Amino acid sequence: MSETKEIIISTDKIHTDQYLVNMGPQHPSTHGVLRLLVSLEGEVVHHIQPHVGYIHSGIEKMCEAISYPQIIHLTDRMDYLSAHMNNEAVALCVENALQVEVPDRVKYIRTIMDELSRLASHQLWWCVMGMDLGALTTFFYGLRDREHILDIFEETCGARMTVNYNLPGGLMFDIHPNFQKRVKDFLKEFKTKLPEYDELLTGNVIFRQRVDNIGHLTLEDAIAWGVTGPSGRGSGFSCDVRKHQPYSAYPMVQFEEKLDTKGDSFVRYRLRIEEMWESIHIIEQLIDNIPEGDYAVKMKGVIKLPEGEFYQRVESARGEFGVYIVSDGKKNPYRVKFRSPGFSNLFALNKMAAGHKIADLVAIMSTLDLVIPDIDR
């Protein structure tokens, strides 16, 4: 007995230390220039300290010098995967401030575009998720399907990612005559492809081992850290702005807010796949019923907001995106603040990933669906 005790004491004397690893700013799995300072004990992650700001571009400050239509085009460059939602948030904010009511046609088209962006964003997230876990083929299948959506954007908006399709008071152009047909064709094809996603990844036993019961986030933590979007809903945080503060055509469509309380990586994964089905469902309800009418209301040449503070939030693909404008009555805002979902989501990473392995850290980070310019703006 005494002998065993001695052995235990002597192992205590072996000095083990945590060591720091810089994941990033150049690292394949951070999808951009994000730096995670990870302290490790062997393979086990002990603490994660994200360092942001490597591609901070000062968009908020730039906004103070330019007019409102020009601000919209800058928001394309923040979360470039949900450019439409970002555009729309600013446009809606300006419209609300001026109390402009846009025609129904605009609302419908905006909503369809939002949901197409959400689909495109989730597709890209899906391929990257697979790639982070080492299933490289998913990357190409996701991109293949996303290509159709980008084509739709390109035909109607003139650009594939930095669409800049919204203006205060409406849209840049009317939809292209082919738009409805293309969208319907795409939906028909994508509905056959989405089950393939499930077969390739969702059901795969290796994948399930990697994400099931990994990276738990409790409801309290989700609310405390402001984790929104599918990541927050995975923890049971009902935070879908489309439901709680409907804007554009969302009041007119039927859809479900997908919620789950388990809060692990797989739930976050599954909710995004289910959201894709919901998006398809929403677009299907709208695409045949786009009302006739103008695609924009006439606005003044120089848009000036009344003095005051204005806030508008929308549901971007990653969570709640908010625009806060302080105006002093000039044509430029006094101050603009963007509440980007990625920023809040990123900082909950430590809560989720501490105690897991490095490989899990990568998987958990994927389920948060981070876009670095969205974090750094």
Partner 1 sequence: MNGLFEYIKTVFKGVGTLLTGMKITGSYFFRPWKHVTQQYPENRETLKMFDRFRGEVIMPHNENNEHLCTGCGICELNCPNGSIEIISMSVLTEDGKKKRAIDKHIYHLGMCTFCNLCVKACPTGAIIMGQEFEHAVWDRTKLTKVLNLPGSKIAQGVKE
Partner 2 sequence: MGFNIYDFTGMTHNMHVSFMEHMSPLMTTIVEWTIIGVCYLLFIALFGLFLVYAERKVCAMFQQRMGPMRVGYWGLLQTIADFIKLLMKELITPKGVDKFLYNLAPFIIMIATFMAMAVLPFAKGLQTLDFDIGVFYVTAVSSIGVIGILIAGWSSNNKYSLIGAMRSGAQILSYELSVSLSLVTMIILAGSMQLSVIVEGQRDAWFIFKGHVPALIAFVIFLIAGTAETNRGPFDLAEAESELTAGFHTEYSGIKFAFFFLAEYINMFIVAAMAVTVFLGGWMPLHFGSLESFNHVMDFIPPLVWFFLKVGGVIFLIMWFKWTFPRLRVDQILTLEWKYLLPINLVNILLMSLVVLTKFHL
Using only C-alpha atoms, the chain has a radius of gyration, in whole angstroms, of 22
45 part of the interface to partner 2, by CB under 8 A: no
Helix (H) or strand (E) holding 149: helix 137-157
139 binds partner 2 (CB under 8 A): yes
173 binds partner 2 (CB under 8 A): no
> Tokens at residue 145, please?
């399907």
Whether residue 304 contacts residue 287, with contact meaning beta carbons closer than 8 Å, is answered with no
| Binding partner at 172 among partner 1, partner 2, none, C-beta below 5 to 8 Å by kind | partner 1
What residues contact residue 247 under an 8 Å CB cut-off, 6+ apart?
A: 88, 92, 241, 312, 314
Select from 201, 296, 325, 375 the one that contacts partner 2 (CB under 8 A): 201
Residue 181 binds which one of partner 1, partner 2, none, with CB within 5 to 8 A depending on kind?
A: none
* Contact set for partner 1, span 152-211 (CB under 8 A): 154-159, 162, 164, 167, 172-173, 176, 196, 199-201, 203-206, 208
Helix axes 358-368, 104-132, angle to 10 degrees: 170
Q: By CB under 8 A, what part of segment 263-292 binds partner 2? A: none
Q: Is 357 in the site for partner 2 (CB under 8 A)?
A: yes
Residue 359 lies near partner 2 (rule: CB under 8 A): yes
Please give the structure tokens belonging to residue 191.
């509905």
Q: 36, 24 in Cβ contact below 8 A?
A: yes
Closest approach of Cβ 277 to partner 2, in Å?
Answer: 22
Half-sphere exposure of 158 (CA within 13 A, CB side): 7
Verify binding: residue 328, partner 1, rule CB under 8 A: no
Select the residue interacting with partner 2 from 68, 108, 125, 141 (CB under 8 A).
141
* Dihedral sign, Cα of residue 271, residue 215, residue 262, residue 347: negative
Task: Confirm if 318 and 243 have CB atoms less than 8 A apart.
Answer: no
Spatial neighbors of 129 by CB under 8 A, at least 6 apart, are: 138, 201, 269, 363, 366, 367
Applying CB under 8 A, does 61 fall inside the site for partner 1?
no
Q: Which of residues 86-145 bind partner 1 (CB under 8 A)?
A: 137, 144
Q: Does 368 bind partner 2 (CB under 8 A)?
A: no
- Among 37, 55, 66, 223, the residue binding partner 1 under the rule CB under 8 A is 66
Query: Is 347 within 8 Å of 227 (Cβ atoms)?
Result: no
For residue 281, with 0-12 CB atoms within 10 Å meaning exposed, 13-18 middle and 19 or more buried, which class applies? middle
Helix (H, G, I), strand (E, B) or coil at 305: coil
Nearer to partner 1, 154 or 294 (CB): 154
Nearer to partner 2, 42 or 53 (CB): 42
Q: How many helices (H) and strands (E) are present in the chain, helices listed first?
A: 16, 8
Residues 28/342, Cβ–Cβ less than 8 Å: no
For the CB of residue 73, give the shortest distance to partner 1 in the complex, in Å.
Answer: 4
CB of 256 to partner 2, least distance (A): 29
The contact set with partner 1 (CB under 8 A) reads 66, 69-70, 73-74, 137, 144, 147, 151, 154-159, 162, 164, 167, 172-173, 176, 196, 199-201, 203-206, 208
Sites of contact with partner 2 (CB under 8 A): 19, 21, 27-29, 43, 130-137, 139-141, 144, 200-201, 204, 206-207, 209-210, 357-360, 362
